[in-house]
Structures are given as structure tokens and as C-alpha cells.
Amino acid sequence: MNIKISKNKRNTEVRVLAKNLKMSTQKMRRVIDQIRGCSYAQAYTLLKLMPYRACYPIFQLLCSAGANAKNNLGLKEKFLFISRAEVNEGTVSKKYQIRAKGRSFRIKKKTCHITIVLKELSNLIEFENSENLKRKISQYGT
């Protein structure tokens, strides 16, 4: 895992990267789409309860980002939300599976890169007028 923490006067954000995870991007995006824009606590419970194998590496990244925000920047986890979450394709390794009568079958082992960015709700100036954010704030009471 590659962790980058950037602290500005206007925004406080924690960025966590995981590279070369051995899973296809399609399977990861199914989970990432569910937690994008959620608060930290809601994403935590969603990842704990979802039955997909792709949830575990994303859950580890989210926990790592939350711990870094708490320990390194002194942010409270209840004010964090996922501002950006994206999955990109990584390298594809190709293997051959031997078949009958001298034939072979190509297997593609896909990898992906995940980026999760957590921001603090109280420091978001550019999203103040967004109806979506106001709805999320009133819905979860933070």
C-alpha cells in the first residue's frame, strides 16, 4: 500500500493507494460504486456486510486511511467521508493452460489499482451549495 497524506489550509484529505491487487477491475468497481460518496462509518459497515471477495482489500484500505487521518492529522473519523474512490486497470499477466490434443488456452490474470480519498466534512468549502452533500449530512446527522 502506498499512502500519501496532503494537508492544505483549505482542505484536509487523506489519500490511500493500493497497486497491483490481483483482482479484475470489474469486480472491484462493483464494490467501489456502492461506497463512493458515503461517510466513513457508513462505508465501514457496508464493507463489513457485503458478501463480495473484493470488499476485504477495500476494507483494509479504508481502515488504513481512517487510522492515518486520526493519528497523523488529528481528524475525527465521524467527520470523514469518501470524496473520491476509483479503480484503474493494472498490468495483465498471460498464462497458458494446456488442453487436450496439443492445444492451449490463454488465461489472463488481471490486476487493478485502487485510490481512496477521504476528506473532512467541516473543511469542504467548494461543496457547500451541493444538494447531494446537504442531503447526506442531514441523512446521517453529522
Tell which wins on pLDDT, 133 or 21: 21
Q: What is the per-residue pLDDT across 63-105, written as a single tens digit (0 to 9) for each?
A: 999 999 889 888 888 888 999 999 999 999 999 999 999 999 9
pTM of the model: 0.74
Alpha carbon separation from 103 to 21, 65, 98 (Å, rounded): 30, 47, 6
Q: Measured at the alpha carbon of residue 60, what is the angle toward residues 58 and 36, in degrees to the nearest 5?
A: 35
pLDDT of residue 78: 83
Confidence of residue 25 (pLDDT cuts 50, 70, 90): very high
Overall average pLDDT of the 51-74 stretch = 92
Q: Exposure string (b/e) for 65-78, b if CB count within 10 Å is 16 or more?
A: bbebbeeeeebebe
d(CA 27, CA 50): 13
d(CA 68, CA 130): 27
Decide: helix, strand or coil at residue 22. coil
d(CA 27, CA 8): 34
pLDDT of residue 13: 84
At 72, which amino acid appears? N
d(CA 114, CA 142): 27
Confidence of residue 125 (pLDDT cuts 50, 70, 90): very low
d(CA 118, CA 102): 52
Identify the CATH class of 2-140: alpha beta
